[in-house]
A and B are shown apart, each in its own frame.
Chain A
Amino acid sequence: MRPNRRSFIRCAALAATGNAIGLRPFGALNALAQSAYDYKALVCVFLYGGNDANNTFIPYDTSGYSSYAGVRGPLAIAQNQLLPLTPLPNFALNPNLPDIQALFNSSNAAIVANVGTLVAPTTKAQYQANQSLPSNLFSHPDQQLEWQNAAQSGATPTGWAGRIADTLNTTYNPNGTVPMITSVAGDTLFCNGTSSTPVAVSPGNLGAAACSETGTECGARLATAQALLTFDTGLTLVQADDTITSNAYNYSKVLTAATASVPALQTVFPANNGLASQLKQIAQIIQVRAALGVNRQIFFAGIGNFDTHSDQLNLQNGLLAQISPALAAFYQATQELGVASNVTSFTMSDFSRTYQPNSNTGSDHAWGSHHIVLGGAVKGGKMYGTFPTLALGGPDDSGSNGRWVPTTGSVQYAATLAQWFGVTSAQLPTIFPNISSFVSSNLGFV
């Protein structure tokens, strides 16, 4: 089911007139509640460490591949192992992404090419003249933060998902009993807004804290513990912890109640797969979205170890081999829940890696990367953005080691997802202050 732009516009108009709430039946726990809005969810899968996109999405035509093999040397993957993309014959995927290949070929996944952190469109010359660049381009923590906050410095204290929640929560989730944003991978900047905070859940551990006392003591112990949280000690850190703990009690109660009597998902998620556990938990929460009173949700998942300075082929192949079936199972679960076109997943990562190998069978920190977007609403089977010229010292190389100057800004990538999600063009500049520096705020992939 494609997103209904008519219903979206109607909702927006009603929101403007303040009638949105009136259309909602009283009681968010009514599982049959008719919502004024359709449901949408964004799922971010963060690849910590800097995934080598040069070995994820690879030239497949004769001259393109040959050039690739020549430069990448020990890092090059054999052509006959690559996974061809039917709608895009000049490109192929890493051999460990067969599910992504299938989704791409069925138009449910797309590639966004050469996307990276940018303050504004930047040429090679401008980079070399040090004009207006994101700060600390090759530093892991800074680039992770800048992908998550769509700002030019890690110092911006809110993530773009957090800012979306700040803007849309009242409109879309007025009766939500949980925040718009759920993280299954701990605390991240992505999830933090100015007024909105996320709920973090531990995959498979949604329930309340354990209590082994008997009789009424569990309730009494809990009540006493919660009373202690209300005392003012005058100490900043104690108060901060009180807030987190109060929220923890509250959300675990809500989530436990919401998931208590739903049937288990039939989709089988791969075992021994950290990302799969996270995505399964997300699917389980999406399953009870009505009970949670939410029409819009943003989820954050993440896995690490992509910083392949050495032994890259083995390490990256192993990681991609986890991502592929995990995302496939997740997509299948969204189909099972009837929300395949309501959920869009997308990858982000610190940066890509040097096209030029290092002397350790690995690669080092680079910049412009290729990312995957997938879901029923994605206009898949295509590459968006501009593929870089894969030449060391070439027109797209910031230097001489193959660190591509991005031709698409990560803020454009985020803004595209945000607009599908429900952010209006009027609201865009609040969430993405530098979006006006770019020609297009919507890359059109979803």
Chain B
Amino acid sequence: MGPCVSLRNSLPSVSALLLAATITLTGCGGGGISTPAAPVAVTVTGNNQVRLGTTAQLTAAVTNTSNTAVNWQVNGVTGGAAATGTISTTGLYTPPAAIPSPNTVTITAVSQASASSSGSMTEAILNPIPTVTTATIAGLGPNYTVTVTGVGFVSGAQVQLQGQTLAATVASPTQLTCTANLTLAQGTTSIPVSVINPDPGTATSSPANAQVTIQAPVTAAARLLDQTTFGPTLTDIQHVESVGITGYLNEQFAAQPTTLALIAATPPTACTNNLVPCAQSEWWQATLTAPDQLRQRVAFALAEMFVISTNSVNSRAVVAFQNTLVNDAFGNFATIMKDVTLSPGMGAYLDMLNSNKPVTVNGAPQIANENYARELMQLFTMGLYLLNADGTPKLDSTGNPIPAYTQDQVQAFARAYTGWTYATATGGTSTSFPNRAANYTMPMAAVEANHDTAAKVLLNGTTLPAGQTSAQDLDGALANIFAHPNVGPFVCRQLIQHLVASDPSPAYVARVSAVFANNGSNVRGDMKAVITAILTDKEARAADTDATAPGGHLREPVLWLTNMIRGLGFTNNDAVAGNDVVANASYNTLGNFTSTLSQKPYASGSVFNFFPPGYVIPGTTTNAPEFSLENTATAVLRLSLANTVVFNRITGFAVNLSATSSWGTLAAKPADLVDALAMLFMHGQMSSQMRTTIINHITTLTDPAQRVRVATYLIITSSQYKILH
């Protein structure tokens, strides 16, 4: 009894923080009455959770001593250990590499002043919060491989995308993969993905955009190449399979345009007396070898719509015209209209060049030359009749089509286009009209004195006021036409005919002309959007999975020949043969092989192109323009050309179809050879009946080279191949 007891009795008043503390009583000393010292107390504070890959800073508060130093322990071990995590002398706890089981450790701080004084805390160790750095989604669909890189992935992690949560295979903390069954629309380039780490401490990463590659099945890849190049190759087919339709189109849209070199002022000897061979040589070489094949194909289609011909136009102008179409192919249609209108090639072909305002000579009045005014509307932009958006003609109350323009409007446009002549050598305005010094490569320039300045009543009530300059009238006239609702369906239907199918359904035409009218960003005439719409439309892609889907078109002679040259791997051997100093002279002669089939590039016999868009196969209602060149005469000539091809007799070129070629090596097994040719030429869709027939026949031949020649001949001359389906 005595004062020693009273201290104990005061304990219940101590605050909750001190509950964990233990208090050691000093004994009451003998020799008299004394007050015992307060025991040293250690309190550990800090976050009681820590994620792998991070650290936790803990603090020890030491009271009742002037020495506040502590020794830190993890699970009773000073400094900790690898399996439990380590702690520094300043209380910075680093969790282990992996979560221990159970996922808690005890962190203890022991007072250096009093070894029996310590404080502890239970620390929970959690999985990290994952971070996604990059992600890719690739596959043919509907199954795709998802690959994610980042930081902090742990076993049991999941991938979250398109509303699904999927188990992932974690290769390392920085990479995981999973397989996903996704619905991805063609054209999708990215979707967001996240990674979820499991418990303990489940957490989701911020989403990141995964780059989507919808790969293409081999048939789709081959068909797309047939639609967008001058001839698929097996290598190209594999590439398109890998990058997919959207990927391939984006590559092609981004590719550098290949233009032709202008014919030199002093032309090469091969063209001294006739420039056409130089233009032909340039055109075939670019067409066959340019990497920007889609752009070249579109330019070719445009050249078959905006027709000019070396038959009556200087080849220098034709070369420049081709470059205009190539450069403008992925721009806006309004730009194409203007650049074509002012090209000296078109100016010469349809007489806008040097078209003078109508004057009276010796009492005899004249009219303005109507040629360009008429054909720009009739053939290039609008057609003869008012059209619905789906390309079908509008009908009046008696069921007849309605003319889109009148003779008076033609004459008005003719006057609007007067005054233009060759630009000066530096592209400026000539002082004389006509300008006798031809400038074949720069846009025409106008001489105002020769421009008709009367008012012109154009389409849809638009009047160009009197007194305008030639440029104002030209721009006004072209804008008037461009705005006409016919332009979308008229132009889109023809582009479809050249790239995909002779006789598209009205619904297909309507879908594409809607894109022409508005590309989604309120722009009219966006060629890139239109081309994408044409090629990705379900009707263009139907035969990817259905070999009997209607559609397709006959390969015109030029395309058929380029298909052979590219597909079979013809090489130009002018250098080897030591031919003419003009490089690649033999490219020029390719046109001679196709001209007997009624087609030579830029040498159409008329402004209606080699084949008119409205051509119907006789005796049917089938619109099939290329069939206008297909008759008993040209069919035989194409067969003869096929013979020339397989016998390696294209002048200046060489193809290896020998026994030691890759084809020849396959020929030991006829089925393998035929299947390889079927993949190259027929998208792997050759019918089994055709396949069996060809295999059976070439099996009767013993020479591998002959097997290759004959199999190739049979395929390339077949109607099944000739129709690009």
Contact = CB atoms under 8 A, between A and B. Distances in A.
A244 B354 CA distance: 45
B714 A197 contact: no
A95 B439 CA distance: 34
Contact of B719 (A70, A201, A208, A242): A242
B631 A359 contact: no
A228 B718 contact: yes
Contacts of A304: 605-606
Interface string A353-364: 010111110101
Contacts of A140: 606-608
A65 interface: no
Contacts of A401: 367
A215 to B, nearest CB: 10
B701 A248 contact: no
Interface stretch (A103-111, A219-227, A324-332): A219-227
A175 interface: no
B142 to A, nearest CB: 28
B370 A228 contact: no
A441 B695 CA distance: 60
Interface stretch (B21-29, B333-341, B358-366): B358-366
A265 interface: no
Interface string B587-627: 00000000010100000011110001010111110101001
A235 B710 contact: no
Interface stretch (B60-68, B91-99, B109-117, B632-640): B632-640
B710 A237 contact: no
Interface in B685-725: 687, 689-690, 693-694, 697, 700-701, 706, 709-710, 713-714, 717-720, 722-723, 725
Interface in B307-347: 311-312
A220 B637 contact: no
Nearest to B617: A240
A328 to B, nearest CB: 24
Interface string B658-672: 000000000000000
B311 A245 contact: no
Given A205-B637, A362-B369, A217 B354 contact: no
Interface string A126-149: 000000000010111110000000
Interface in A235-278: 235-242, 244-245, 247-249, 251-252
Contact of A224 (B371, B612, B618, B714): B714
Contacts of A359: 355-359, 366-369, 418
B723 A238 contact: yes
Nearest to A229: B719
Nearest to B725: A235
A244 B635 CA distance: 7
B110 to A, nearest CB: 89
B552 A235 contact: yes
A170 interface: no
Contacts of A357: 364, 366
Interface in B474-496: none
The CB with the most chain B CB atoms within 10 A, among A74, A228, A237, is that of: A237
A360 B640 contact: no
Contacts of A242: 719
Contacts of B717: 225
Interface residues of B, number: 85
A360 B369 contact: yes
A84 interface: no
B504 to A, nearest CB: 13
A310 B351 contact: yes
A194 B616 CA distance: 13
A389 B628 CA distance: 40
Contact of B355 (A138, A234, A360): A360
A213 B713 CA distance: 11
A192 B548 contact: no
A82 interface: no
A241 B554 contact: yes
B208 interface: no
B723 A237 contact: yes
A61 interface: no
Given A74-B361, A200-B633, A305-B312, A241 B596 contact: no
Interface in A179-230: 183, 186-187, 189, 192, 194, 197-202, 205, 207-213, 217, 220-221, 224-225, 227-229
A189 to B, nearest CB: 8
A61 to B, nearest CB: 20
A69 B354 CA distance: 24
B374 interface: yes
Contacts of B633: 183, 186, 200-202, 205, 248
B629 interface: yes
A71 B374 contact: no
Contact of A73 (B354, B362, B635): B362
Contacts of B223: none
The CB with the most chain A CB atoms within 10 A, among B361, B612, B640, B647, is that of: B640
A70 B368 CA distance: 19
A124 interface: no
A309 interface: yes
B619 A233 contact: no
B267 interface: no
A157 interface: yes
Given A224-B697, A240-B622, 7 more contacts: A199-B632, A205-B596, A211-B643, A224-B693, A248-B636, A359-B356, A359-B357
Closest 5 CB pairs of A and B: A209-B639, A200-B631, A241-B719, A359-B356, A248-B635
19 contacts: A70-B364, A141-B612, A183-B633, A186-B631, A197-B618, A205-B633, A205-B637, A208-B636, A220-B700, A221-B713, A225-B713, A228-B720, A231-B693, A236-B622, A240-B620, A245-B719, A307-B371, A359-B368, A401-B367
